[in-house]
A = this chain, B = another copy of it.
Amino acid sequence: MEVRNRYVTLKHQLDEDQEPKESDFELKDSIISLEASTKSSSNNNNYVLVQNLYVSIDPYQINRMKKQSSSHKAINFSFALSPGQVIDAYGVGRVVASTNPGFEKDDLVAGLVGWEDYSLVQGEFMLSFLRKIDNTTELPLSHQVGILGLSGLTAYGGFYNVGRPKKGDKVFVSAASGSVGNLVGQYAKLLGCYVVGSAGTKQKVDMLKDKLGFDEAFNYKEESDLTSTLQKYFPDGIDIYFDNVGSETLEAAVSNMNMFGRVVACGVISEYTDGKKRAAPNMIDVIYKRITIQGFLTPDHMKDFAEFTTVTSDYLKHGKMHALEDISVGIESIPSAFVGIFRGKNIGKKMVQIVEN
């Protein structure tokens, strides 16, 4: 069996401080031949061929696309991407063929696939990320990519495990209309926290307040002094700052934090494409207010995946949470979808639907 496979790849690695452009990517063609690949592979006969339906578009991918500096080479789990290579990414698809006893044809699955039509998932490591999706759920399949997928787990694990929140905590979320931020705000509201979000357009700000029930939200582009802005929205200080952007927002949050405040360092999108924008939080504040700044990655919280999906599905079914999705259609839209994230174009979870399901 063979399938023709189109995939999005890098033309060249990106410079350290470069914003991505559509022309950095190209769409290529290959043939996936099950016979050839199982013969050549040490994984022998253990594979699942998936036709991808939705693939996730995430800002962290840019860190894999850059020329690797010596410091980043040390981060060896953030597998660097080479030009020409398939870009692996989280997604949802339908099984076309399988020799693995855990999967059969037509199963719906979620896992690490790629920015491509078909993904041949092989090897214990990659197969360990693949899981069957319950066909009977009334929730849209796209939810499995965002709110019930890795973005959801990022928000859940980061907020609960790293943020260690309690009812009444004052929570600030940046990039609050993004794939992770909007969920952190929703979890925080459901726990009984006071929640303020920052975003980059009036439309996003309104949506946070009107649709997601944030207590307050503001457009950071309209604020000249973020420290004063946060002082206004947090007269009693910030207990948890869920950081998706870094730089001056992180600095302003630290200077407004309460004793024993927690900074959940999830992402620093403003620093990904501008190394000069590094945050310099006041360490005197960090010491005297006993602040903890803690980085985390989603795989650290895989042990909570079952709990997270149960809780979150339940919230969704009872209308207590909203899934914000921003879906482009067609594999050729992947480069513009990815580039758009760095320009604040998306509202909620950005994904690309490869084919109709």
Chain B residues with Cβ below 8 Å from A285 are 71, 75, 295
A190 CA to B72 CA, complexed, in Å = 33
Q: Given the interface contacts A283-B278, A284-B271, does A292 sit within 8 Å of B293 by beta carbon? A: yes
Contacts A278-B283, A279-B280, A283-B250 known; A295 to B300 CB distance under 8 Å? Answer: no
Least Cβ–Cβ distance between A180 and chain B, in angstroms? 12
Say yes or no: is A289 at the interface (Cβ < 8 Å to chain B).
yes
Q: In the complex the two chains form, is B297's CB within 8 Å of A284's CB? A: no
Q: Are A280 and B282 neighbours in the complex by a CB distance under 8 Å? A: no
- For A276, give the chain B residue with the smallest CB separation: B280
Give the Cβ gap from A284 to chain B, nearest Cβ, in Å: 6
State in angstroms the CA–CA spacing of A31 and B55 once bound together.
78
Q: Is A193 an interface residue (CB 8 A)?
A: no
The chain B residue with its CB closest to the CB of A277 is B280
A32 CB within 8 Å of chain B: no
Interface size (A, Cβ < 8 Å)?
A: 40
- Known interface pairs A265-B287, A278-B283, A287-B267; A255-B71 also in contact (CB < 8 Å): yes
Please determine whether B288 and A63 come into contact, CB atoms closer than 8 angstroms: yes
Would you give the 0/1 interface string for A74-95, flagging 1 where the beta carbon is closer than 8 Å to chain B? 1101100000000000000000
A5 contacts B by Cβ under 8 Å? no
Q: How many copies does the complex hold?
A: 2
Contact A293 B288 (CB under 8 A): no
Q: Is the CB of B297 within 8 A of A288?
A: yes
**In the complex, chain B residues whose CB is within 8 Å of the CB of A194:** none
Instruction: Say yes or no: A75 contacts B279, CB within 8 Å.
Output: no
In the assembled complex, A188 has its CB within 8 A of some CB on chain B: no
A281 neighbours in B (Cβ, 8 Å)? 278
B300 and A290 within 8 A (CB): yes
| Complex alpha-carbon distance, A323 and B289, angstroms | 30
Closest Cβ–Cβ distance, residue A261 to chain B (whole Å) = 10
Distance of A71 Cα from B286 Cα, bound (Å)? 12
Interface string of A225-268 (1 = CB under 8 A from B): 00100000000010000010010001000010000000001111
**6 intermolecular pairs with C-beta atoms under 8 Å apart:** A268-B284, A278-B280, A278-B283, A283-B295, A290-B294, A292-B292
| A residues with CB within 8 A of B | 63, 71-72, 74-75, 77-78, 227, 237, 243, 246, 250, 255, 265-268, 271-272, 278-297, 300
